[in-house]
Amino acid sequence: MAYEKLFAGNQERYLTFNLSSLNARDEDGKLVPDYKTIKREVSEKIWTQHLNGEISLGLSPLRDGKVKWGAVDIDVYPFLETDDELEALMRKWADPCLVSRSKSGGIHIIAFTRDWVDADVMRKYLAAKRDAVLEAKILAHADEIFPKQKDGNGSQMNLPQCGSERPVLAWKAGSTIQFCGRTKHGNVFEPDWLEIAAQCYVPESQMASVIISTLTKTPKRSTKAREKKRYAGGFKRPTSGKAMEGRNSFLFHCGASARARGADDDEISEIIHGINDEFNNPDSEFGSKGPITDSKRLSTVIEQVQKLPQGEVADLAYDVVERMNAEWALMFVDGSFEVLNTKTDKPYSMAAFQLKLRPYKLRGREITAFWLDDPDRREYDGYVIEAPDYDGEGYNIFQGWKVEPTNGDATLWEAYVKDILCSGDSDLAHWVMSFLADAVQRPWSKHPGTAIALRGGQGGGKSFLGKAMRAILPKAHIAEFAQSDRLLGQFNRSMFGASFVLAEESFFAGSRKMAAAAKVLVESDEWTYEQKYLASFSAKNVHRVIATTNEDQAVHVDFDDRRWTVIEVPTMFDDTNRLEGRKWWDPYYALLRDDPGAVLRYLLEYEVDQDLIASPWVTAAKASDKIASDPVIALMDDIARIGSCPDDLRGDGRISSATLAREAWARGASRYDNPRRFSNQLRDKFGGTTAANCINIEKVEYRQTPDGILTPYVIKRTDRAGVQLPALSEFRRIVSKVTGETYPDDGDWLEHRIADPETVNDIDPNGGDVDGVLQYVKDNGAIVKEDIPF
């Protein structure tokens, strides 16, 4: 049965009522019966009885979240009393539909589809048509749309044509309207359900094009202006720039937009007169001045616009273009193009963009194609991060701060930086606050060329700094990385525009490779951004790096580093989950939760010393990281402490290149590093000079004398090339300048001491016991005789 197929839906239950139970409701006259829901399948017999008027059948269109029909319920009585009124409504509705009476004498406008569609699509389509077609006084009584729900069983609606009740008034397919019942010409037509099923359906693509036209709220315009732009393709109403300097300029720009979209001379005149009339409205762009009353002045604007070249009528009315532009922008990036969702700042490849909007079609063509071809599409020449007053061709990702500044109390914030982060060091706190405030005040500015590394145990408050920046800056201006390979890897476009790069555990362990990459990130004026399937581009580097770690070494620091300020953050609580720790930190986190604007105001008002933050602050933590980062510096630190060079049995401050390489490798230097490199470093950084006849101990053997005493026997070379270090006091002064450590300031070079079994407890961690001595000699030299008396 064609009727049954048209009204397919949830047929496992149906609604019915006794026709004699209808009673009019006092408040609005709506007829309300005694309904009953029958929980069983609708049989063929019930369909027939309904059409015969023997029982009333009501169904929900929902089946597994999809529908094949939907309806707008208009509760106005009486309504559409004549065929002329009915025809006018259906012409205005434009799409295929069926109009029937409701049980109370109102109207149901019913739309059918050939295939099952999402219930939400049907609802949005019907809502869009209803809002566009019905007058305001009718619209107020058209709240109900079926399906009412997106899934489940759904609410039921009384179906049309129950005998002579709820008759079909007319149905439309294409431009033809087929009236039913007695028409004004005296003809009588019964609804032909087979013909209705074959012709009266709305393609899903048509539904999509209607929905796309309501993506954003339609700007408030007069009905007169809306009618005038329909034939000209619409026009763009400017909101900024020279067009807003006065009424003449505004009218000219509106007219120029309409002209480019195909408006002829007469249409230009009507449009400009119509916009000028809108200035009577105090809420309009120039409502405070009122319309231009000098006809000559108005005619001059019209004539200026009419002299402009007339474009072709665009495929999309400007209202639709405007709604697309509210969410999307075409981006030209370094010779490539992509599409940006300006509501989420998420870029899409062209293929992904077209796939996302593929369901939205107009006249069988995807809406994206129309928009891309339109002269008024929104487009930008690449991405930039600039001050709020930027007026260039690029898309500025800086759209303001996350919160508004407030006059709240920022004392806790100031105390956190000074007393917790900087351990009470006011000078260091000023450096840190200047570093942070510079980025917050000018997120679009180039970095200062320095970075912060925080190290310390859990519970010290290192991560609170990043949380504070996240509380006051938008998500786009904070980039977080837990792994250094991701931070400095290939697909890094999400970093673009990040004022702060929060690198947790990213640079610890003193990796020379990561240090070299981090150096470029901290110092480079430009950075290259890449993303799979999207364009790569270079832009100014605004990144301020803040690295945090729980390790003993925060970052790899070069001898002559001019980038890192390393801060040791003391551990206040061993376990932040303990009640004591949580209670102590609660006020600080409450500040970020309840009044982050107070922190923003403090930083916006802080007097930044940009010269100061161009160089890192020297700290004891940085000195220790510098020692740990360089095996040669670590060796020089050891030599300065004990006052003797390895293998220097003469005590004259000479060390062979072979010995130097052995000791540097033992402290973590790469085996690929040539001994000459270490010698050059000693000469360049520590005042050494080239020396000959240096000692290199190749092996120490422990031999037993005839009287049974174990004695070390040194196998060495005394003709090795190497480095002569300065006098011990001068050497210690130079090393102290590099490491920041304090060494004894007197004495001369000491001879290198060879441990013997009697003094092995001085160097053996086992305390010099028998097993410890045996282990030592096994590790450090061959044992000539196995039977060693003790």
Kindly report, residue by residue over 562-604, the tens digit of the pLDDT.
888 888 888 766 554 567 777 888 899 999 999 999 999 999 9
Given the structure tokens 């809502």, which residue do they identify?
Answer: 127
Give residue-wise pLDDT tens across range 203-216.
Answer: 888 888 888 776 64
CA distance 685 to 175: 91
Q: Please tell me the pTM assigned to this model.
A: 0.56
Top mean pLDDT of 6-15, 132-141, 405-414, 581-590 is at 405-414
Going by their DSSP bridges, the two strands 336-341 and 346-348 should be labelled as antiparallel
Name the token pair of 703.
Answer: 């031999």
Helix 728-739 / helix 675-686 crossing angle, nearest 10 deg: 100
Helix 204-212 / helix 119-133 crossing angle, nearest 10 deg: 60
Q: Is the pLDDT confidence value at 350 over 60?
A: yes
Q: From 103, 94, 117, select the one nearest 74 (Cα to Cα).
A: 103
Residue 761 DSSP symbol: G
Q: From 460, 454, 457, select the one nearest 416 (Cα to Cα).
A: 460
In angstroms, what CA-CA distances link 401 with 69, 327, 436, 441? 47, 21, 14, 10
Q: Using DSSP, how many helices (H) and how many strands (E) does the chain show?
A: 28, 32
Which residue type occupies 513? K
Give residue-wise pLDDT tens across range 274-325.
Answer: 899 888 888 888 988 899 999 899 999 999 999 999 888 877 778 788 889 9
Give residue-wise pLDDT tens across range 462-497.
Answer: 889 999 999 999 988 998 877 655 666 667 788 898
Q: Are 688 and 682 in contact (CB under 8 A)?
A: yes
Domains and CATH numbers, the chain: 2-202 (3.90.920.20), 235-313 (no CATH), 411-622 (3.40.50), 630-753 (no CATH)
Phi/psi at 198 (5° precision) = -80, -30
Question: What is the structure's pLDDT at 372?
Answer: 92
In angstroms, what CA-CA distances link 726 with 637, 692, 740? 15, 15, 19
Name the token pair of 264.
Answer: 């002829």
SS3 537: strand
CA distance 554 to 625: 7
Lowest mean pLDDT among 358-372, 670-684, 688-702, 771-785: 771-785
Give the 3-state secondary structure of 172-241: EECCEEEECEECCCCCEECCCHHHHHHHCCCCHHHHHHHHHCCCCCCCCCCHHHHHHHHCCCCCCCCCCH
Given the structure tokens 């406008």, which residue do they identify?
Answer: 109
Question: What is the structure's pLDDT at 484?
Answer: 59
Q: Which residue has the higher pLDDT, 788 or 273?
A: 273
Q: What is the DSSP string of 229-290?
A: HHTTT------SGGGGS-HHHHHHHHHHHHHHTT--HHHHHHHHHHHHHHTTSTTSTTTTT-
Q: Is the pLDDT confidence value at 188 over 70?
A: no
Sign (positive or negative) of CA dihedral 385, 390, 394, 399: positive
Give residue-wise pLDDT tens across range 64-97.
Answer: 889 999 999 998 877 887 888 888 899 889 899 9
Question: What is the structure's pLDDT at 185?
Answer: 47
CB atoms within 10 A of CB 742: 9
Q: Is the pLDDT confidence value at 10 over 50?
A: yes
